[in-house]
Structure 1
Amino acid sequence: MAYRDLQAFIAALEKRGELMRISAPVSPILEITEIAGRVMKRGGPALLFERVEGSDFPLLINAMGSHARMALALGAESLDEIGRDVARYLDFGNYTSLGNLIRFAPRLLRLAACFPHRRRLRLTRPPCQQVIEREPDLSALPVLHCWPQDGGRFFTLPLVFTKLPGARTQNCGMYRMQVLDRTSTAMHWHKHKDGSAIYEAWRAHGGKMPVAVALGCGPEITYAATAPLPPGLDEMLLAGFLRRRPVALTKCVASDLWVPRDAQFVLEGYVDTEEPPVWEGPFGDHTGYYSLADWYPRFHVTCVTRRRNPVYPATVVGRPPMEDCYLAKATERIFLPVLKLQMPQLCDLCLPFEGVFHNCAVVSVRNDFPGAARTVMNAMWGMGQMRYTKLIVAVDASVDPRDTGAVLAAVLQNADPASDYLLSDGPLDALDHSSDRALYGARLGVDATAKPGVTPRTGRYALLPVQKRAPGDGREAALAALEAEGVSFAVALDDSVDLADRSEVLWRVFNNIDAGRDLVVKDGKIALDATKKLPGEGLTRPWPDDISMSPEMTARVDARWEEYGF
């Protein structure tokens, strides 16, 4: 089903018992983060905060924070159902004969829903322009200050609409926005993102770049803004496909950009390409660490339009699992058929929560020929946003890539460090903090498929807590552990890590290693240093702090927990 607007999705959540209303007054400064973070990690419901201090607008969070709610948001019983649907359209057998084409024709009609509808003639104002504020005041919105070390308040679910100079096709991306004052924000366009490329094109063109930010669209539209589509492909096409109905767009009040007519709020304005950048951050990011402050463009808000009774959308990111993990799972399942079309040996894919989107992918492959796993890994590193994947582990088709134990066993038994560990220097995600230099470092591929005629290896892994005092302590501890009988894979971790918590261990490993620096092969065994790195270990930038809530706010939420209604 397609949701008319965010209110319709809220009603669907409430009907299914997936929504909790909180009527107690709460602060957008840290308090909502602490409440929502606890609920997210416990697999709890969507939250509608009806009384946010300092604002007249209610706030919705965690609306897509479970497998069930993510599927519900996209109108399906499961995310795999959507993936199977996409696979049918990519099956060329449906188009190779007249009979097959006739049978498949009803499904082809659905593609007509992909194209957004630009509504020019209006008898009444569209919902997103029921109220027009030409003297905007961003302080009226319940924008969250998420974590103690954040540089300020951030819009965390903005749909940012831009387009190249003179173009008709628009781009819609999701980029965090730090509030600077009542009428401006920073615009966090990463180097690798489409928004950054469009901004650079405007810099070459000169002048002011029009920008429109929609807040609180239907869930299919919000998801589409996060999807890894090729440059130049309008995200509203994907949204229309998912919702089986064209996205209705309306022209902005003050520019020629078009935005979803059913949005809750729209911030209209511009980026002056000749204006100096502004200092943005730090920000408690989805990696579970603070991303470092840096220079980004300033977005000037010249007009705010909204519904008469809008709901403000937000999310909180941090150490997984959080709500954004389920957006990543949607991408994993929806785009798997596209990857399989381009890589026939690929069977299945898992992006573990602990890998925070870009730090780990586990793939199952058909070993149709020697080097099939390596072929798949290299292909993934040459493809779109997969090029930033820091670790790819390939297992046999018979192994479930979601079964962590089975994957670890395959690595220990089938991956020979001399021949099955592949290092590839290349681009990394802008939020990766472990490489010695920003945006570039070592990517590791591990071929853990069984090799014909090769006897499985024996051995076990060892986890070592290290109280690190000097550069190299982690590496030395891991190498020393390889001397123990039966240990073939040793991992050094900071002594603050709970070694009994497999999820925390994996999260630290995926986040804290640059394989070119931290992986050592000795006598056919692997030593891995997953500790926090010190300046003397090759770093050219600061190592970020872990995200954690202040003790004062933790105590406050503890004391008020029953007052919230839990």
Structure 2
Amino acid sequence: MRDFLSFLEKKGQLKRIHEPVSPDLELTAISDRVLSMGGPALLFENVIGSSIPVVTNVLGTIDRVAWSMGLEKVEELEAIGEKLALLQQPKPPRDAKETFELGGLLWNLIKARPDYDLTPACHQTILNNEAVDLDQLPLTRPWPNDAGSVITFGLVITKDPETKVPNVGIYRLQKQSCNTMTVHWLSVRGGAGHLRKAAALGQKLEVAIAIGVHPLIIMAAATPIPIQLSEWLFAGLYSGKGVRLTRCKTLDLEIPSSAEIVLEGTITPGEEMSDGPFGDHMGFYGGIESSPLIRFHCITKRKNPIFHTTFSGKPPKEEAMLAIALNRIYTPILRRQVPEIVDFFLPMEALSYKLAIISIDKAYPGQAKRASMAFWSALPQFTYTKFIVVVDSSINVRDPRQVVWAISSMVDPQRDLLIIENTPFDSLDFASEKIGLGGRMAIDATTKIGAEINHQWGEQLQHSKEIQKRVDSRWKELGLSDITSNNPDATLFGYVMDYFISRKEITNS
């Protein structure tokens, strides 16, 4: 993480704040305002109540997310998605080119294997048992009605008690005492599954929390791709070299050796405490739930560590920037699983997963509904997608002007809506009549063909290719070269649109 912070500072993308700032509400309020303005990462060097500085907004722009992965542009992430898609559904090579590509991928896997440090920086200071005191850490409380202070960007590391395969996730942790925290994870997550297995075996579950790691590892932990590879290998594939790991001091778990702070503890199955409420990504406070209690007995850290944190809420937030990047990675994987899908987009303003816009090469009646059903089951994270809009491949899914036109001109609500009732759902979605159980809807905004219609469909207006080329060739001659289509007031997703327009991805149809 320190290398990346130095990189950001050289680019003018890190601001040091020397004045004293409270970790209770104030630090988040400052960070939130700067993030909403597209500002730099913030390093608070004088945090009241702790000697440890706090860094926020590290991944607060799409550019910084791309830079964290060694890329210049987020569009380059699709190449990583192609690799992961091939790993998920490998096919025998058909020719020399595919053989070469498969060989290159296998070599990338070899290079991505973790390395190990015998003298890791994260073990420069070791505190055991009674010396463990979470009050010494600059834990933040982001929102006024939050139940307590939290860790938000810690890697929560567990291991399957049977297979010994590790899981690395990012879950919110709430401080309960000077040496305990509750962990808030959904039942479908890897850590929750490990706890269920430990309970069946009558064992405690070992848990390590690594705080202050390179953002690339955070990206890997946030990538829920259903293939049997560890997040450490994902991170290695992302970076082109293996993550350097070391073993915990008191647990049979591996952690990034360059982590700033590591908490080591155990969960006794069935030992829980009330967790919440907390401000969440939906823009509301979540409920109060009983969550597993972690008892920490060891803290290791660097000398003069830095505490990395973030916060949830209505976008734009860091989690939304991560989601935009992950959207690029998912695209090749989704195309491999559902070949008829040409492109898809998860708008940030729709919380980056509640609404999906997908385009298809339509070939037969009812295909939009089929594509919607396939999308919902393609990847675990799409289970909680509430709305799907299916459009023709001629529609740019990232241009809301085109998408809204397709909905308005192609949809008859009594024919083109598919509503599925009472499906497992996001417990944080208060719009559902029953918490954890809700409906979902697909909208067929494609051109209707065959049995879908019983009358002639109108022909779409469009300029001929010849006249468009003629206008292109005369654009400068006519003195119009300084006119662009950048009009954010005419868009629904202005923040994201500004970014993509600046990348010249948005063009008129």
Scaled by the length of structure 2, the TM-score of the pair is 0.85
1:52–1:418 distance in 2 versus 1, CA, 3 Å: same
Where do 1:508-527 residues align within 5 Å? none
Q: Quick one: distance in 1 between partners of 2:358 and 2:432?
A: 24
1:17-55: CA deviation from partner (whole Å, max 9, x where unpaired): 111111111010000111111111111111111111111
* Aligned residue type for 2:348: F
Tell me the residue number matched to 2:346. Answer: 351
Q: Quick one: distance in 1 between partners of 2:456 and 2:43?
A: 57
SS at match of 1:347: strand
Shift of 1:104: 6.4
Where do 1:37-436 residues align within 5 Å? 37-87=32-82, 90=85, 95-98=93-96, 100-102=98-100, 105-106=103-104, 108-119=106-117, 122=118, 125-134=119-128, 135-230=131-226, 232-275=228-271, 277-383=272-378, 384-425=380-421, 426-436=423-433
Shift of 1:106: 4.5
> Higher mean Cα deviation, 13-22 or 191-200?
191-200
**TM-align CA RMSD:** 2.4
Tell me the residue number matched to 1:475. Answer: none
SS at match of 1:12: helix
Shift of 1:207: 2.8
Shift of 1:449: 1.0
Q: Quick one: distance in 1 between partners of 2:269 and 2:104?
A: 47
1:345-379: CA deviation from partner (whole Å, max 9, x where unpaired): 11111111121133111111111222222222101
Q: Does 1:441 pair with 2:438?
A: yes
Contact 2:174–2:183, Cα closer than 8 Å, also in 1: yes
Contact 1:171–1:233, Cα closer than 8 Å, also in 2: no
SS at match of 2:339: coil
Q: Quick one: distance in 2 between partners of 1:354 and 1:212?
A: 33
Q: Quick one: distance in 1 between partners of 2:259 and 2:456?
A: 59
Tell me the residue number matched to 1:529. Answer: none
Structure 1 residue runs without a partner (length 5+): 1-5, 458-498, 505-566
Contact 2:194–2:205, Cα closer than 8 Å, also in 1: no
Shift of 1:171: 0.3
1:140–1:81 distance in 2 versus 1, CA, 3 Å: same
Tell me the residue number matched to 1:537. Answer: none
Structure 2 residue runs without a partner (length 5+): 450-454, 460-488, 495-509
Q: Quick one: distance in 2 between partners of 1:231 and 1:392?
A: 25
Q: Does 1:15 pair with 2:17?
A: no
Shift of 1:117: 3.0
* Aligned residue type for 1:198: H
Q: Quick one: distance in 2 between partners of 1:103 and 1:335?
A: 20
SS at match of 1:52: coil
Contact 2:133–2:178, Cα closer than 8 Å, also in 1: yes
* Aligned residue type for 1:48: L
Contact 1:171–1:232, Cα closer than 8 Å, also in 2: no
| % identical aligned pairs | 36
> Higher mean Cα deviation, 369-378 or 307-316?
369-378
Contact 1:362–1:392, Cα closer than 8 Å, also in 2: yes
Shift of 1:116: 2.2
Shift of 1:181: 1.1
* Aligned residue type for 2:21: V
* Aligned residue type for 1:350: F
* Aligned residue type for 1:96: R
1:287–1:274 distance in 2 versus 1, CA, 3 Å: closer
Q: Quick one: distance in 1 between partners of 2:161 and 2:218?
A: 25
Contact 1:393–1:446, Cα closer than 8 Å, also in 2: yes
Contact 2:400–2:492, Cα closer than 8 Å, also in 1: no
1:203–1:104 distance in 2 versus 1, CA, 3 Å: closer
1:265-312: CA deviation from partner (whole Å, max 9, x where unpaired): 11000011142x101000001111111111101111110001112111
Shift of 1:177: 0.2
SS at match of 1:375: helix
Q: Number of paired residues?
A: 455
Tell me the residue number matched to 1:492. Answer: none
Q: Quick one: distance in 2 between partners of 1:455 and 1:343?
A: 28
